A and B are shown apart, each in its own frame.
Chain A
């Protein structure tokens, strides 16, 4: 149903000469949805946002705003607003005049706009700042005013380009909650560009994970986290072990692979086609899903030598050697057994339900900040 979607992208592509910034993006974003575009820098997320805003023209494809194709519509006639990373508050206008700007462009006088300006200032909790100039505000305050300015004429969607990128860590956490609350209150569709996986996971209804212009997966935070579509998604979000294995002849329903002489069954495999025995595969399991010296029974148990222990406050990260490959496991500080030390043997338990196989070919797409990489 077209009217239920705030924004729809159909085969949207953007290229500058031979350089493809975004390749064939298809998505339907529902009204009132908090939708994130997540990916490392240069993945095409900002370009996608700018195409929706009308600041870039797609090379191919259609962009539908509330059911109408807007590819040829200039930005000032599109019913969406952008919150820029540097806020772009007009430095020669007071807070009041900045927020009035979109209304003024629609021919509404400052006195008629007064009530709406007050309401939106209350929404972002910035009453009393009307007469200030942007340079008299802190980063977080400018952020709120930029938000107010974009919300005052109730657009169909708000496009946010890494709006919290310039803020420090603590303030970012607070602003995440503010943003999410505001979005719930006004019920406007938010399209949120970020490279921060935590931000995307905690705030979004759905996330599109992108890399090098390609959309790897679109799904809810839970789907993205627990059922990553590609090895890249698996590596970009959360902490994942990637082990090199060899495909074994399946016994029963589940695909199987061998890692360092051990047989592992996987509940999921993204490998398509008929797998040959002996093909290389990536055997993946989240670090927090690896059980260490657990009393609960697991599907597979192997012995590994402890190589490194890192204390991280709420938990420990344990790196073990499993037949020449590193397996990382995260153990809650509450369950920590102090007898585990570097050089000792640890019993590592894996459940088939937590294991996914990815094609070996996807290994080059993995983003991982392990100690070897640094």
Chain B
């Protein structure tokens, strides 16, 4: 086999995997611009589904619900997750290693399990279903996401920077504000974006905890009962683009590349 052909099998295989993964997404994107309602045969180009979409008040409301639930859940998750991460990193308590491994459990557990458990508790406490119960559900899995990211950043950072700050005269508040927070900033941004993306897509837990106040995925799921409307393609295409933007933004802040603290050195 010549040099040029080496690994051609692997390349073809890789292409197939990506094709398998992304072909349906491309199809959705294409059909969102197709004037015909059927899946076969695209002819022409139209934005009418998008126009219809923006006339659908219920759908727009559901979209706004999703955004606000996501923002609120991320806000709460950042506060709780960061506090939790510092607690686990600094305080020694029995069963800590078990706790550390179980942190991600609410995120990993099947949504149906989390959904039912939360619903059972909420019903038992006689709390009516409302946007707040949906928010509770979303907080349950965004906190672990944020906490896990911050924990690993703290672990990589080590305790010496904090010791050095204290040693140089910074009290605990100053140490957090001037040293710890800037050093975990990128992890915090990355974790927030990830948590928002996860919250944006979430359907199962929301489905259990939502009353008449629906989030976008739950609403789309409802629409599907009346057949595949091209409106669904259009909204899917929009979500796809939003998610892509978020993922690209996120990759700047999480992972290895974020270890190099790219800080614009402001001229002073």
Contacts and interface: CB of A to CB of B under 8 A. Distances in A.
A92 B179 CA distance: 8
Contact of A101 (B168, B182, B183, B261): B168
Given A91-B261, A105-B174, A135-B261, A84 B168 contact: no
Contacts of B263: 92, 133
Contacts of B161: 88, 90
Contacts of A96: 268
A84 B161 CA distance: 10
Interface in B174-209: 174, 178-179, 182-183, 185
B265 interface: yes
B261 A110 contact: no
A178 to B, nearest CB: 21
Interface in B239-268: 260-261, 263, 265, 268
B161 to A, nearest CB: 6
**Chain A interface residue number, banded:** 20 to 34
B80 interface: no
Q: Is the interface of B mostly helix, strand, loop or mixed?
A: helix
A139 interface: no
Interface residues of B, number: 22
B163 interface: yes
A311 interface: no
Interface string A141-181: 00000000110010000000000000000000000000000
B165 interface: yes
A91 B182 CA distance: 10
Nearest to A96: B268
B168 A105 contact: yes
B160 interface: yes
Nearest to B182: A92
Nearest to B183: A92
Contacts of A54: 166-167
B261 A55 contact: no
B171 interface: yes
Contact of A84 (B164, B170, B185): B164
A55 B167 contact: yes
A82 B178 contact: no
A104 B170 CA distance: 9
A336 interface: no
A140 interface: no
Nearest to B261: A91
Contact of A92 (B160, B164, B261): B261
Contacts of A74: 166, 171
A82 B261 contact: no
Interface string A79-91: 0111010101011
Interface in B141-169: 160-161, 163-169
A231 B130 CA distance: 77
B168 A150 contact: yes
B265 A133 contact: yes
A110 B268 contact: yes
Contacts of B165: 90, 101
B169 A76 contact: yes
A55 B168 contact: no
A94 interface: yes
Given A76-B167, A76-B171, A86-B160, A101 B178 contact: yes
A295 interface: no
A91 B178 CA distance: 12
Given A53-B167, A105-B174, A88 B160 contact: yes
A125 to B, nearest CB: 22
Interface of A: 53-55, 74-77, 80-82, 84, 86, 88, 90-92, 94, 96, 101-102, 104-106, 110, 131, 133, 135, 149-150, 153
Instruction: Name the 3 nearest CB pairs between A and B, nearest first.
Output: A88-B164, A105-B169, A102-B168
Interface of B: 160-161, 163-171, 174, 178-179, 182-183, 185, 260-261, 263, 265, 268
Given A94-B265, A101-B165, 6 more contacts: A53-B167, A54-B166, A90-B165, A92-B261, A101-B168, A133-B265
